[in-house]
Each structure stands twice: as structure tokens, then as C-alpha cells.
Structure 1
Amino acid sequence: MALRLSDPLDHLAATFRRFAERECRGSSPLYEALALTTADDAELRSIAGAAPAGQPVPNLFFAAVHYLLLAGPGDRLAEFYPSLTPSPRPPDEAFPSFRAFCFDRRPAIESLLRTGRVQTNEVGRCAYLYPTFALVAEWSRRPLVIIELGASAGLNLMWDQYRYEYEGDASCGPSDATVVIRSAFRGDRRPRLPERAPAVVGRVGVDLVPIDVRDEDQTSWLRALVWPEHRERAALLASALALAQRTPPRVVRGDALACLPDLLREARRDAAVCVTHTHTLNQMTEGRRAALTAVLSEASRDLPLYRLSAEWLTGIHPLVELTSWAGANVTTRRLAFSDPHGRWIEWLGDRTAARPFE
């Protein structure tokens, strides 16, 4: 008989355990330990339950605590956070301090849970965007227009301004770039990695609550979303923010489904239009996901359209897919599995893959 979880707090217990075992293990010992102990603590889960529906609760809950610690690291709990001390205490000893901090700062945490969103602007994911956008440019023989859904601060819209170093393989992108993304390929297959990025003639993002790259409080929230052990991710975020602050990318405030038709109509018809989203669909209902597909299918009648998605709805690892339309024909290709933060890529496609519908 299947286990039925009737109480919302019971659902949260399962959610925290899944987060610990599926996402944190091997990546964040601190969050793994805290998630497992929070799963067994109904009072703590009652605080986490202030998060709105549709948000990944463990990510949001731990980000709220991290945000408060970054703003005032004097609490004893900071001693366990590698982001706040060079010599953190053992993660398996953190829970008593964590629990005490959460109850001491409960009103502030619940306020952040109600108003904040998990909108991690993971620049490392550009490691698989680069070869995928290059593939679209090769197939279409056109410059690119990029429309990103759930763009946060829009840092991944600037993917062509970054340098890429793939361990044991090629380096590409501007040699003088101030943002350098390092990744590695697993397995035997490799994509084409042109030395220069394809031409981009338009770029825009859409987000319910865009992050202003020049607002210190908003960028501090982005920093809090980075897990405490991930110092390289934090440094990469800081360098991308510094670049974006010179010329902030355009990110439209609004609902993706409401804004997308207008953004598609604005796109240049002589370009290949790439609608991209990474780790976004988990915050959408099934109905909204279907509506998004319908919007794209309708728009594909009038312009060369591609959909680049990197999502982790099922399976062991996130999956990178590329969908293209030609009249009534639709092709979706599984291009790669990846680390959630882009640290490694297992390319599935053939380096000499034919253009769609050839």
C-alpha cells in the first residue's frame, strides 16, 4: 500500500529528505545534515511551511537563514558555514545552533519565505548553454535572439561575454573576459566548441521579480542562494555581477506566459530565436507547462524558433534538451546530462549531428 501524506508538514518532511539525499549529498554536507534533521522536526517544518506554493521549500528556507547570517555573521551558527569562516565546525554538530537561530529569528525568516523566491542565477550553467547556442547557430545559419524565462538578474543572457575552459578539452570565448567558467566533459562525446561565440542580435529575460544587479540587498539575496560550501560558485557570481553592473541586461518584470507572446513578436525575423529556461519548470504547474508549449508552437509558425531547456523534473541528473520546429514538424533532441550547477557535462549528441529535418 502506498504511503499517504495527509498533513502538509508530513509532505515537507519528505521534501527535506529528498532534498538531502538527491541534491545535497556529495555537494553540501552542511545542507544535507540540516535537511535530514529538519525533516524530523515538526516545529522547524512549521517555520518552513510559510513558503508559498510552488517554491522549492528547502532551498528557500536555507537561503533565508543564509541571508540573515551573511548580513550579521555574529551568531554562533556562522561557525558552521564555510561561506562565513575559513575553518567551519563539523556539519553534523550544526543542528542545535541552527534550530536555536531559526526560533530566535523566526519572524524575519518567515517574512523572507513569504517574499523571497528561489531565483538562483547559476552562471556555471552557461557551460552547456555555449555549445547548445553554437549548435543552433550552425543549424540555422542565422544570428541569435535569446529570450530567457525565469531570468533572475539576467546573468546567463550574457553567456557570449564569458570565457569557457573545459578541463582536458578546448577553451573558447573572449580571451580577455573577466568571467571565466570552468567545467568538464564526461564520457566520449563532445560538442563543437567554436573559439568565438555566435553573433547575438537581441537578448531579453523575463522574471516575476527581476533582480536589479545594482541593488546591494537584491544581489545579497542571490549570494544567499549559493550553498555555503560553494566558494567557487560565489566567486563566479560576484564576477558576473560586476560585469553586468556596467551594462545591466534587460529583464522584463512579469509572468512568463503573459510576456512571452509580445517578446516573440519583438524578435528579429532574420534571427534564430532561442527561448531558454534552466531549472524553472519545477516552479510551474503541469497546466502552465502545457500552456508554455502551446505558446511556442503557435509562435513557431512565423519565425525560426528553438527551445533550449535544462530541467530536473525526473531522473538522476538534469537533462539538457533542444526543441526545434519546421512547419508541423517538431523535433526534441536530448543533448546532455549535467551537474545542477554546470560543473560537468555528459554530452549525448553527435558532434556531426545533422540539422533538424534533413
Structure 2
Amino acid sequence: MTAPPVVFAENASLAGIRLTDDIAGWLTEHWPEVSAVALDHATQTNEPARCATLLPVLTSIPGPLALLEVGASAGLCLFPDRYSYRYSDGTELDPPIGPSSVVIECEVAGDVPLPDRLPEVVWRRGIDLHPLDIADADDVDWLDALIWPEHDDRRRRLHDAVGIVQAEPPQIDTGDLVYRIEQTIAEAPEDATLVVFHAAVLAYLPRDRRARFVELVRESRARWISAEARGIVPGIPEPDGGEAGDFLLALDARPLAFVQPHGRAIRWSATP
């Protein structure tokens, strides 16, 4: 069965209209087109604002860093060092070369260990079943179509991030994350700290394959950052707190915070 968000996104992509318009008639008339394209696409939201919630964890890991994102889509979250950040407590962070065209705002609650610098990233790689090409206009249009119609700030941020990443497109390996993870880890540089991370990915896997992925990552030399819905990642305890719909952010299976799925907020819960 095709997921409703994909159908709605394809409607917006084909018709060039927003989902706030009256679309029932258009969908009925054009259903063969919508169905054909929707069945060939998947939900591959690539939200660079998630970097704001990853940043306190990334900067706690000794660098330089080699980043490997599973379920990378087009790879926009592989560039946390190229974006600017504005946290609600007044913390402001910019790349060494100056403020970025991508400025990510994030609400903070609790004792979030916000950094005073951005991480040094020396290697970037992704894995995805169907990688999106940041240089392909149709793929970028699909990423745009997947953004909720009222989220104009996310749409602007997407296109600004695309401009940054197009200057240095990351390598996104095509493959199943369980089958591909060991090979890609082996290709990471030995003189950098490898960090495997993912957000809103493991829910698309059956439970036994989630468990196998966790096993492979835990047995590797990588540090591991996960940001998934509660109850999705095997072996991670669920602390109390957070808000409905929050993801649980963890480092090496240790829960640290609850985060809003699109990076709008981080609610720290870990104790030192």
C-alpha cells in the first residue's frame, strides 16, 4: 500500500499546487498519473534542521569526525559543519568562514550541553536504498514535495542547503543498510572517529532487521547516534518525559534527549 504522504506529495509535485488547495477533484481526474509515480517513490524526507539536535552529541565526540548516515536520502544532514545555528538560550554558532545561508533555529530545554564550536568533519558518506541526487532537479523537487505545505521555513531551508551541498556532493552508496553497513564502515578513514547516525529510518525495517543493524553497529569501531521514535531501536531504554511525537536521541544506546522530529527542539534528559 502506498503511504498517504507519498500520494499527497506526488499530487503537489505533478500538479504544482499546494495541499491546502481543493485537490479532491484533481486527484480523481489524475489518479493514474499520481498512482504510477507514487508507487515508484518513497518517503525520503531530508531535513537539515535535524543537525541542530545532533550537534551537541557530535561535538562531545573527539574529532576529527568521519560521518556515515544510514537512510541518508540526498545527504543534507552530512554537513552539520556548514550550517549556522541559533538556539533559544542565545547560543549562536557559525562555520569558521562565517554565517551560513542555512540558519537553523532550535528550542532547548534542560541542561543541553551546547558547544562553542562546530565539529571538524573530514569524511562524509551515506547509505540509502534509493539515494536522491542533489544535482538532479527532479530529485530536489521530490524533496520539496515531501515538505508539509504549511512549513515554508523548511522549504526555504531545503533549497539553501541544496545550494551548499551541490558544491561538494557526498557519496551515497546504494544498498540495504544491514547488508551494506560493514563494507562502508571498512572504507572509513582510520585516523578519524567514525560516527554512524540515523534519524527516522529504523521504523521502516522489520524488528529482526533493526536488531541485526544494531548488532552490527555495536560490534564495529563506530560511535552510534540514533534519533528514532520511542520503542523503535532495540536495546535502548525509554526514559520518562518528552512530548508526544518526540524522537529519542541516544549515543551508543544511551538515551540523552527527546527531540522534535524536524529539529525544532531538543529536550535534554540525560544526567552527567
Structure 2 length-normalised TM: 0.89
Q: 2:113 — aligned with what? A: 191
Paired AA for residue 8 in structure 2:
F
Q: Which amino acid in structure 2 is aligned with residue 181 of structure 1?
A: I
In structure 1, the partner of 2:237 is none
Change (3 A) 1:348 1:173: farther
What is the percent sequence identity of the aligned residues?
Answer: 34
User: 1:247 Cα shift?
Assistant: 1.5
SS at match of 2:39: helix
Residue aligned with 2:60, SS: helix
1:289-335 alpha-carbon deviations (Å, 9 max, x no partner): 01101211332xxx3x2110111144821111111xxxxxxxx2211
Unpaired runs of 5+ residues, structure 1, are: 1-48, 52-56, 82-93, 324-331, 354-358
8 Å contact from structure 1 (residues 318, 338) kept in 2: yes
Contact 1:145–1:274 (CA under 8 A) maintained in structure 2? yes
1:240 aligns with 2:240: no
RMSD: 1.7
2:226 equivalent to 1:309: yes
Equivalence map 1:188-267=2 (5 Å): 188-194=110-116, 196-267=117-188
CA-to-aligned-CA distance 1:219-261 (integer Å, 9 cap, x gap): 0000000000000000000100011111212211121122211
Higher relative contact order (CA 8 A, sep 6+): 2
Counterpart of 1:245 in structure 2: which amino acid? Answer: Q
Q: 2:250 aligns to what?
A: 321
Q: C-alpha separation between the residues in 2 aligned to 1:58 and 1:321?
A: 29
The one-letter code sitting in structure 2 at the alignment partner of 1:69 is A
2:103 equivalent in structure 1: 180
- Asked whether the 8 Å contact 1:135–1:192 carries over to 2, the reply is no
1:112 counterpart = 2:37: yes
SS at match of 1:116: coil
Spell out the pairing of 1:278-297 with structure 2 (5 A cutoff): 278-297=199-218
Cα contact 1:208–1:253 (8 A) shared by 2: yes
| Partner of residue 69, structure 2 | 148
Q: Which runs of 5+ in 2 are unaligned?
A: 232-242
Q: Write the letter of the residue equivalent to 1:210.
A: P
Helix, strand or coil at the partner of 1:135: coil
- Within the candidate set 52, 55, 61, 2:7 is matched to 61
- Displaced runs of 4 or more, over 2 A: 268-271, 313-316
- What residue in structure 1 maps to residue 57 of structure 2? 132
Quote the Cα distance in structure 1 between the aligned partners of 2:120 and 2:217.
23
Bigger Rg, structure 1 or 2:
1
Report the residue type matching 1:222 in the other structure.
Answer: L
- Partner-residue secondary structure (3-state), 1:62: helix
* Letter of the 1:220 counterpart: D
Partner SS, residue 307 of structure 1: strand
Tell me, in whole angstroms, the C-alpha distance in 1 between the residues paired with 2:141 and 2:119: 32
CA contact (8 A) 1:152 1:209 kept: yes
* 1:72-91 alignment, distance < 5 Å: 73=17, 78=18, 81=20
Aligned pairs, number: 258
Tell me the secondary structure at the aligned position of residue 67 of structure 1.
helix
**C-alpha distance after superposition, 1:164-223 (max 9, x if no partner):** 11123311131332211111112x3221312x2122221100111111111111100000
After TM superposition, the score normalised by the length of structure 1 is 0.69
Shift of 1:98: 2.6
Q: 1:100 to 1:210 in 2, by over 3 A?
A: same
CA distances 1:35-59 after superposition (whole Å, capped 9, x unpaired): xxxxxxxxxxxxxx3x2xxxxx122
Alignment-mate amino acid for residue 6 of structure 2: L
